[in-house]
A = this chain, B = another copy of it.
């Protein structure tokens, strides 16, 4: 990696190379991914050394244990990154599919063909494995990628990208398919966010703050990912054991993820019977509850929820509880406070199930299942670049297809208007 390259140069290179990537055959792309995976392993020592530098600096700066763990690389994590690339090589190539082709009355044959987006920019935080994962998905879908990782992981990211580029070169693929913004200052991020001439889409991955900053400052189209204030609504007809199992799974199976449940909404008629059961389970699982007044009248041990609790993504062992008078109030509450990620109802009532699916405004709406399933792997996409919580372009888990666009290809024989 030439660290002195300006962002402008990176952008130009990426645009140039994106013209070539769109025409690579699936065999060539898979070869590139395989060689890149191999290069990660052969560069293992250099990557670990670079990561140790980042870790030392982070420890010095007093980084929390959780973040240190995210930042840290090990032999097995590098193996995981390499395996990830091989998995992506095994996925179907989305490029070139003709989604429709119709003959118009004037004889024009109009087809809609799937093509790469072009240049994808990824802005992310501490986890260096994103570097390799994001490259894999962008490369397989024919896109050039410009990566802007967090400054905490700069040495690790540089070492990883150096390996990936060497792998690509060995495979005879253009190494500029993946480039890293080597500068760690914020001005570089801002500049990247305004390179409309070169970058077709920006995908921020990380904290709510990072995503908000990208949306606020980017003039390039952004795909918002991640923030998930997910609810589970327990209807009056819910089967209690199923409801308990789903809530416990969605809240506790992994607390720091965007598809974890952050808020329980429950029908007044079953609250008195259900909430004490929940109290027991949550005591055992050490989940803190912040409840409205009515729920606290049933379980006085729970803390009182404040207005701001309804909108919060805790990403922690905390859950808010709200009692409602029925499906209508439940849907209104959820549509008011949710972030458009994943919402679930537990019910045995057909009409309520359909109403919930119809009227809740979110990327994924569930009946009788845990919100934790909103994930590219679980949806059968093989891998994901993120989970879109916006409505444009892609909604929900984004796999290879979501990294593509279409173009109309039109076959004529002299038609004029």
Contact = CB atoms under 8 A, between A and B. Distances in A.
A185 B64 CA distance: 49
Contact of A249 (B118, B219, B366, B417): B417
Interface in A204-223: 215-216, 219, 221-223
Contact of A415 (B104, B201, B373, B406): B373
A196 B340 CA distance: 13
A220 to B, nearest CB: 9
Contacts of A245: 414, 416
A91 to B, nearest CB: 16
A174 to B, nearest CB: 15
Copies held by the complex: 2
A412 interface: yes
Contacts of A253: 416-417
Interface residues of A: mostly helix, strand, loop or mixed? Answer: mixed
Contacts of A118: 361, 391
Given A359-B23, A405-B395, A367 B221 contact: no
Contact of A369 (B357, B362, B407, B414): B414
A416 B249 contact: yes
A101 B414 CA distance: 41
Contacts of A365: 407-410
A405 B391 contact: yes
Given A222-B221, A369-B414, A410-B366, A117 B391 contact: yes
A1 to B, nearest CB: 27
A373 B242 CA distance: 56
Nearest to A224: B221
A21 to B, nearest CB: 12
A200 interface: yes
A82 to B, nearest CB: 25
Interface string A240-257: 001001100110010000
Interface in A362-417: 362-370, 372-374, 378-380, 390-393, 395-396, 405-417
A239 B110 CA distance: 22
Nearest to A247: B416
Contacts of A6: none
Interface string A94-106: 0000000010100
A395 B245 CA distance: 44
Interface of A: 19, 22-23, 102, 104, 108, 110, 117-118, 196, 200-201, 215-216, 219, 221-223, 239, 242, 245-246, 249-250, 253, 335, 357-359, 361-370, 372-374, 378-380, 390-393, 395-396, 405-417
